[in-house]
Amino acid sequence: MPEQERQITAREGASRKILSKLSLPTRAWEPAMKKSFAFDNVGYEGGLDGLGPSSQVATSTVRILGMTCQSCVKSIEDRISNLKGIVSMKVSLEQGSATVKYVPSVVCLQQVCHQIGDMGFEASIAEGKAASWPSRSLPAQEAVVKLRVEGMTCQSCVSSIESKVRKLQGVVRVKVSLSNQEAVITYQPYLIQPEDLRDHVNDMGFEAAIKNKVAPLSLGPIDIERLQSTNPKRPLSSANQNFNNSETLGHQGSHVVTLQLRIDGMHCKSCILNIEENIGQLLGVQSIQVSLENKTAQVQYDPSCTSPVALQRAIEALPPGNFKVSLPDGAEGSGTDHRSSSSHSPGSPPRNQVQGTCSTTLIAIAGMTCASCVHSIEGMISQLEGVQQISVSLAEGTATVLYNPSVISPEELRAAIEDMGFEASVVSESCSTNPLGNHSAGNSMVQTTGGTPTSVQEVAPHAGRLPANHAPDILAKSPQSTRAVAPQKCFLQIKGMTCASCVSNIERNLQKEAGVLSVLVALMAGKAEVKYDPEVIQPLEIAQFIQDLGFEAAVMEDYAGSDGNIELTITGMTCASCVHNIESKLTRTNGITYASVALATSKALVKFDPEIIGPRDIIKIIESKTSEALAKLMSLQATEATVVTLGEDNLIIREEQVPMELVQRGDIVKVVPGGKFPVDGKVLEGNTMADESLITGEAMPVTKKPGSTVIAGSINAHGSVLIKATHVGNDTTLAQIVKLVEEAQMSKNPNKHISQTEVIIRFAFQTSITVLCIACPCSLGLATPTAVMVGTGVAAQNGILIKGGKPLEMAHKIKTVMFDKTGTITHGVPRVMRVLLLGDVATLPLRKVLAVVGTAEASSEHPLGVAVTKYCKEELGTETLGYCTDFQAVPGCGIGCKVSNVEGILAHSERPLRALASHLNEAGSLPAEKDAAPQTFSVLIGNREWLRRNGLTISSDVSDAMTDHEMKGQTAILVAIDGVLCGMIAIADAVKQEAALAVHTLQSMGVDVVLITGDNRKTARAIATQVGINKVFAEVLPSHKVAKVQELQNKGKKVAMVGDGVNDSPALAQADMGVAIGTGTDVAIEAADVVLIRNDLLDVVASIHLSKRTVRRIRINLVLALIYNLVGIPIAAGVFMPIGIVLQPWMGSAAMAASSVSVVLSSLQLKCYKKPDLERYEAQAHGHMKPLTASQVSVHIGMDDRRRDSPRATPWDQVSYVSQVSLSSLTSDKPSRHSAAADDGGDKWSLLLNGRDEEQYI
């Protein structure tokens, strides 16, 4: 033993030197150094010399962590009291301690602590020789630590943490902040350590991490004993410990430096946590605070341990690898010289150890379940000789170890981890490196369990994470995955659990048992699911182990991989297509292995994997009527966004493609032409046109300039813009439409309870019908299904697709029909309605003007330009136009260009000129067309402001003519050729020819007709006057349409909604019968109950007419079946035997078959149905259809039922024009100003924006 004696002598000499410097009394405690016991779970030593053999009975206090209830107290007392040498034991739950009377010659406190630790608690000696110090030599030293606590949701969490932490011995004060998610604790470092506080908070079910802590100014006796046992060859594993010890030992050369870094690439809170947790654990880092808004990080570090460059590279090495760190000026070269200056400091490790050659190894660890596993591995491995640093990642299941290869090997590290109850395998070994230097990226060999070397990228020593692309391969090749016997499951019922610490206690300790692969404990259910290796351990042994922890456990079920089964009753299925639809949805769902649906019994049998999906999820899938519609709605949403970083003068410094889930409010997003706007936002820079048809239902794009709002899912038509996100995720307009559709489909009709009310008379009548049905149910059972099947088939032949029997039966009850405007009442595309030449100033004939204008507009992608080009080609009878140069388009104003080579087009055009009398001004005349030499024309086409910008004057006559057209809802544009104003073109969205006839026919049937549109009031009124609708709701949003439908339903009316756009889909789903136009969007078609394949509004009338016929046929079938039973049953029973009427059995069988056949034949008569043709409707409406004036139309804004007074009627109101409202106003997604100025000035969202309110017409 001479070597041990020398070590003890050296230790005593070192302790005397330290105590002499601190001027502490050594005489009282010096003998304690001769005999001491160390406890790894706490991290300090306590002397027990005072309890020598001379004392027959000794009394000591043991500190116990993890007790939650009296059951824990009783189990500890019962088990420890049975130990040999224990006289008595009293456990206090409130104080978290136990008073033990024992015989030191038989048992020691270390054995008691070990026995309590085996029960799942944490035990340490709270009273030893340190308690015998004189009070005058122990000043009350206090330190402060900040813990970041994740998982707090309410004030109850705060109170729970404060109350339990305050009871810990050594805790002076504690303050928990819910808003900051942190806890500030004042403690006595010679009684408790920050790691103990952190672990205790973790045991309560929260996630705690040490942010920073202030070291005490001097040490207590326990701290000095800890210094005596510290291995001088191993540096401390954490920066905070390094800081504390360096301050304590009088390290005058070290100081704390504050460095501010700029970090680009952060997107959310997880990025902040990633940086703070990993960088905060680096050697020398005292604290780090990251700001997502400012994109900066403030780091306090010891320059003797690390440098700014090392911090920069460590942050950039963190996953996912997209962080970019910028150092402040002058920081690049700092920190390199500081390291050598501290090499000779009293508290620093020897130079040959720190500056020596070290290696990094990556070890894959299986079996970790919580943060406690991470702490236990880090605490145990860091104490091994030769280990410089260890970082364990619970998420990745890996440990990165920095070690001295001359002292310890990776295989020894792996064996040490496996001795703790985990399964470990060496993944990679890096080349030798300097632990304080920067690691360069290099290739190393990965040694898997199979012995196959694989080249991978070297892992950063402080990252502590395994690359995602290698983790699956490593886990797949682990010994666990190569077992011959597949792992099994068992379920256990556990009683006695009271809080989250009980759950953590069971999971942590059970995971350490050999053969246990995973543990999942449910506190509320009182159950545990355990995966185990049947060759190593059995369920009864697992239950026994849980009982040893102080809980009651019993095996519920030995799980062998069987699937769950559920039988459901499904109502609402009408045909085989419903069965196929449900089965296909279920079988496509992950976790469902088998699904069978029976139409006859309305039952569904589903087999599923309970680990993946549950019964409630299956029910939701079956009830999800709108799944397809919602999927199509969500497909409109962009999947990625281009987030940019702006510098000075809004210059783009960096662009990055990120998933939509990472886009945050306030981010700057770049949208290129043709791309989708990923979020709702405001335009910061750029001008463009946006297609917002998903909200307003209009096909015309809307001008967007700085300050304008954009809608997620809309299309950017022209220029590239930068927008600032204002609504993201579930807050976007598109997400709200999805929510409206879902709520509308799942909501119940408010009047449905009327049909569910039962009264005595109805019950009596039902019982009588039941008697008849029992006698012969065949005919009654065929009465309704056969009529519905034939009715839906006849409807399909006539261009009406009816989805099931419910809408077919509902159509005849409709009392109100609500029409959308654009694409429903109108065609949805602009058309040229009138060309007006100014005869007094025009110098070119009409054909040449059309050729020049058509050539100019051919270069424009604007819908108005497309309409003008199409009209000119039709009038000229050619598909070839002239040559256009110097083309310029100004959004919201117009175009300008030069046109040439139009003479050849006119020469080859043989099409006669159409009659132009209606197109010419009364004062104008058609100039004679002359042959002219080829020439170039300078063309300007646009609104008033565009021509004024180019120096042209607009006369009052021309302005009045434009106003007349604009008041009728048309868009008027001016044409100037070679600097001369020569014409005006009126463009509008034409009303469908059958629209007025369909509206009149519905009104004659007693159905109220309403026009509801997102367009402005003037446009809506103009359309309503021409189709004969006297009630209009204008400037409404999709939610307003749903609310209006619900309002009418609450009044007891059955409502039908007719629409074609995405914005109509919520109202289509909410209405009693949703009717979609066949040329509409897929979302609207999916949400509707009826689809008009031929895009004919008269089919709305036909569907109601067919519904009446079908319902009437159903009633006839029921009456026939009931009459048959009513007459046939008495005859078959022999009631008429006295008069000689008796039926033989074969006659009854024939009569039964005849009844069924008669019902089927009656239903087949519906195949003779013919839809009323157009001539019949026109004949019925002849002499009754009259156009309305503007004063006869009641216009309501949004959900406001107050009528807006119409302007005074003009002579134009007495004439029904073929021309209709312009599409330019249909893109309005904002209400117009409720003032006379707005009414007179027009809609500010017109496509031809001119910047002045008094000239912004519809």
| pLDDT value, residue 1009 | 92
Cα angle at 537 between 532 and 542, to 5 degrees? 80
Report pLDDT digits (tens) over 421-478. Answer: 788 888 765 444 443 333 333 333 333 333 333 333 333 333 333 333 333 333 333 3
How many angstroms separate the CA atoms of 815 and 813, rounded? 6
Residues 508 and 572: beta-carbon distance below 8 Å? no
Question: Which of 203, 302, 820, 1229 is flagged as catalytic?
Answer: 820
Provide the H-helix boundaries in 32-137.
Answer: 70-81, 109-118
The partner residues of 408 in beta bridges, in order of sequence, read none
Q: What is the DSSP string of 812-846?
A: GG--EEEE-IIIIIEEEEEEEEEEEE-TTT--S-H
Strands 1194-1197 and 1031-1034: parallel
Residues 348 and 340: beta-carbon distance below 8 Å? no
Cα angle at 1006 between 1005 and 1010, to 5 degrees? 105
Closest residue by Cα to residue 644 from 619, 663, 620: 663
Strands 516-522 and 527-532: antiparallel
Helix (H, G, I), strand (E, B) or coil at 683: strand
The partner residues of 1033 in beta bridges, in order of sequence, read 1012, 1196
CA dihedral sign of residues 552, 555, 559, 563: negative
Cα angle at 283 between 326 and 278, to 5 degrees? 60
| pLDDT value, residue 643 | 92
| pLDDT value, residue 1209 | 39
| pLDDT value, residue 356 | 45
Residues 124 and 42: beta-carbon distance below 8 Å? yes
Length of the chain: 1258
Q: What is the DSSP string of 467-494?
A: -TTTHHHHHHTSGGGG-SSPPEEEEEEE
Report pLDDT digits (tens) over 709-767. Answer: 898 888 888 788 999 999 888 788 777 777 777 666 555 444 333 334 445 566 666 65
Q: Which residues contact 1144 (CB under 8 A, 6 or more apart)?
A: none
For residue 820, indicate whether it is catalytic.
yes
| pLDDT value, residue 564 | 72
Record the tokens describing residue 336, joined without a space. 């390199």
How many angstroms separate the CA atoms of 1032 and 1024, rounded? 7
How many angstroms separate the CA atoms of 450 and 836, rounded? 86
Residues 259 and 282: beta-carbon distance below 8 Å? no
| pLDDT averages per 10-residue partition of the chain, 1258 residues | 47 45 38 37 40 60 82 83 84 85 82 81 64 35 81 78 84 82 83 86 85 49 41 37 37 66 79 82 84 84 83 80 78 45 36 53 82 79 86 80 84 83 72 38 33 33 36 36 62 82 81 84 79 86 86 68 70 68 78 82 81 76 60 73 86 87 88 89 89 69 86 84 89 78 56 42 62 58 81 85 85 91 86 83 79 90 88 87 88 88 70 45 44 76 90 88 84 90 88 89 91 85 88 87 90 91 85 88 82 87 89 85 77 77 75 79 85 81 76 78 46 33 34 34 31 28
Distance of CA 733 to the CA centre of its chain: 14
Consecutive H or E run containing 420? none
How many angstroms separate the CA atoms of 1079 and 68, rounded? 67
Sheet hosting strand 564-569, strand order edge to edge: 564-569, 603-608, 592-598
Q: What is the dihedral of CA 868, 870, 873, 875, to 10 degrees?
A: -70
- B/e letters for 156-166, b = 16+ CB within 10 Å, e = fewer, are ebbebbbebbe
| pLDDT value, residue 976 | 92
How many angstroms separate the CA atoms of 771 and 774, rounded? 5
